[in-house]
Structure 1
Amino acid sequence: MTAPSGPATVTGPTAEVPPSAGRRRRPLTAALPTGTALLFLLPAALLFGFFVLYPMVTALTYSLYSWRGTSQESFVGLGNFVQLFTAEPYATQVPRAFAHNLLLFAGSMVVQNSVGLLLAVVLHRRRRFKRLFQVLYTMPYLVSPLVIGYLWSLLLSPLFGPVNALLKAVGLEALALPWLGDPSTALWVVVLVTAWQWVGFPLLLYGAALGGLDASLEEAAELDGATARQRFWHITLPLLTPIIGTVSVLTFIFSMEAFPIPYALGGSTGSPAGATDVMSLLFYRTAFQSGSSNAIGTSSAIAILLFLVIFGLSIAFNKWFRRAERRLF
């Protein structure tokens, strides 16, 4: 009888290895020519150069000259920057506005890194209605900050605002305050409203990071007798260090650039009595409302100063978190 024909399988030391089996597969990026890669990057580079680099260089150039209206006059070097710290009202307003920005950053970071992380952990462990709550917490983050600010100014109105009406209805008349009219409370309202709107952003980042953690680490710690709190503080939290650093740096940048919510709650002057004044409001007033003949030079100096602070401290924060991450791992 004849054996049925078919594909023969050869085993043992005489088996032939297909020619492609011993080759190392080339990375996909290696197959892309440099010219083609640069061609794909060119549109983004052009947009970045036109909308970011060109305005920055222009602002730097403007800050080095004195101006009369829209006419450029003499080169003054760092004279406009010196004026920010020696001439009134800038000598008073610049440090105060910077202090408010830093306080806004500190308050937002504490709320977002605590409440955002707590909500992310709770939703990570919850299966039912998880997507619904994620959408609800994220919705304020998707709304314009200017709209959020105006809505909260109506909610906190001492005349018809529902917040004070609710406090009075439950017998807490002592807490029914003119929230945006009192310098001692106005800035804290800005901090809380800002943190409330942006809490959905760290919620999404922490939720994605928790979903990517290796569950076997926590399971091994649980088998070793570690409690839920110990597993969180000694395993989960250290593994989230890169995301904590990202959230902190981005929160710092957003806080230093804050404009819509302070503008909606306190106006361009940072009312009441400058209690809600921030650097972006100071830049806006100087450029468009000061009436100064050198408004272009002074406002450009404020913009460059703010950029240097944001850029320098962001780099410092990023390096500090990277060192902390290396020490942990």
Structure 2
Amino acid sequence: MQHGKYRFIAGFLVPPLIVYAVFVVSPFVQAFQISLTDWSGLVGSARFVGADNFVRLWESDEFWNALRHNVYMLAFVPLVTLALGLFFAFMLNVGGRRRRNEVVTGVAGARFYTFVFFFPQVISITIIAVIWFNIYNPDPDDGMLNSLLGAVGLDGLQNAWLGEKSIALWCISAVMVWGHVGFYVVLFSAAMASIPRDIYEAALLDGASRHHTFFRITLPLLWDTVQTGWVYMGIIALDAFALVQIMSVNMGGPDGATDVMPLRLYLTAFRDSQYGYAAAMGVAMLAVTMAFAVLTLRFARRERIEY
């Protein structure tokens, strides 16, 4: 009977594990194999070169420039996105004024605001990039942002935006925040809904302010969700391929100011036909992503709070 139980469990586990190995693990292994060659994309053109691609990568100024931009986005995008998501979720769930017979409630119109915040999530990333590319259009007549600034008398703040080397990357990062904050509003709202209202009511009746309620109750009880969101948002920040490809000047410009690792990999493989070198970039990206995830889960770990 015991032996039959194990066969029954294996019957459910083996097929999905095989599918996972073929479609997930196998491509990673093949990418590492290709990274050790000088393959140009043609059948039979691969020649084993060992670690030459990784040495070349280490000495590449273009790669380090792209990695630096990803690190900038990694430091900015998750922090701002999660902070805004927590703030908006808190206001929509427990940040409203006290009403009759209700001690804890969200702001008026919370459901409508939730829909507004989540709306970018139902739009394709390509459409988002095209919309914001036109918003950032430097033409004072055609660009929405510059037109708005001119209409309110702030002509001095008009800028080339995506064409300005010093701010182009931050403009794209702002779009990334705008496009993802709604997801975290809904995620954190769902997590807050599981927190017993009695805890909030007891804190408010004891005279706790909204500030103390958030930092002493909400944030500690949501920390596991925040930690998971931080890893997920960090992976998105390390990608940023679609936004940069569509929105940046000449894909990564001006003058490499918006170049990121995935875009550098794409250009190396499909423009320069250096698939072995591009695979080495992919392996490096995997290492950076895994290091970020492990460090985040390690240093952001806190003792779980039960309620």
Q: Which residue number corresponds to residue 288 of structure 2?
A: 309
Larger Rg: 1
- 1:52-201 equivalences in 2 (<5 Å): 52-70=24-42, 71-86=44-59, 91-125=60-94, 126=106, 129-159=109-139, 160-201=142-183
Per the TM alignment, residue 42 of structure 1 is displaced from its structure 2 partner at its CA by 4.4
Opposite residue 92 of structure 1, the aligned amino acid is: D
Structure 2 Cα separation of the partners of residues 53 and 127 of structure 1: 47
Q: Which residue number corresponds to residue 228 of structure 1?
A: 210
Question: Any stretches of 5+ residues in structure 2 without a counterpart?
Answer: 95-105
Structure 1 Cα separation of the partners of residues 216 and 40 of structure 2: 61
Structure 2 Cα separation of the partners of residues 127 and 33 of structure 1: 53
Q: Give the total of aligned pairs.
A: 290
Contact 1:256 1:310 in 2 (8 A): yes
Per the TM alignment, residue 40 of structure 1 is displaced from its structure 2 partner at its CA by 3.5
1:203-229 deviation per Cα after TM superposition (whole angstroms, max 9, x unaligned)? 111101111112222333334333332
TM-score, structure 1 normalization: 0.82
Opposite residue 61 of structure 2, the aligned amino acid is: T
Contact 1:107 1:192 in 2 (8 A): no
Q: Which residue number corresponds to residue 15 of structure 1?
A: none
SS in 1 for 2:38: strand
Runs ≥4 in structure 1, deviation > 4 angstroms? Answer: none
Structure 2 Cα separation of the partners of residues 173 and 268 of structure 1: 27
Structure 2 Cα separation of the partners of residues 158 and 108 of structure 1: 24
Moved more, 151-160 or 262-271: 262-271
Q: Which residue number corresponds to residue 246 of structure 2?
A: 264
SS in 2 for 1:180: helix
Per the TM alignment, residue 312 of structure 1 is displaced from its structure 2 partner at its CA by 2.1
Task: Flag the 1:134–1:53 CA change in 2: closer, same or farther, 3 A.
Answer: same
Q: Which residue number corresponds to residue 296 of structure 1?
A: 275
Q: Which residue number corresponds to residue 51 of structure 1?
A: 23
Contact 2:244 2:251 in 1 (8 A): no
Task: Flag the 1:328–1:210 CA change in 2: closer, same or farther, 3 A.
Answer: closer
Structure 1 Cα separation of the partners of residues 160 and 203 of structure 2: 51
Contact 1:150 1:265 in 2 (8 A): yes
Moved more, 251-260 or 210-219: 210-219
Structure 2 Cα separation of the partners of residues 202 and 68 of structure 1: 41
Question: Any stretches of 5+ residues in structure 1 without a counterpart?
Answer: 1-29
Q: Which residue number corresponds to residue 103 of structure 2?
A: none
Aligned identity (percent) is 33
Structure 1 Cα separation of the partners of residues 126 and 227 of structure 2: 27
SS in 2 for 1:157: coil
Structure 2 Cα separation of the partners of residues 265 and 68 of structure 1: 28
Structure 2 Cα separation of the partners of residues 174 and 41 of structure 1: 63
Contact 2:162 2:249 in 1 (8 A): no
Per the TM alignment, residue 195 of structure 1 is displaced from its structure 2 partner at its CA by 0.5
Contact 2:220 2:305 in 1 (8 A): yes
Opposite residue 129 of structure 2, the aligned amino acid is: G
Structure 1 Cα separation of the partners of residues 118 and 205 of structure 2: 36
Structure 2 Cα separation of the partners of residues 187 and 42 of structure 1: 45
1:128-186 deviation per Cα after TM superposition (whole angstroms, max 9, x unaligned)? 54333222211212222122111111111122111111110110111111111111111
SS in 1 for 2:39: strand
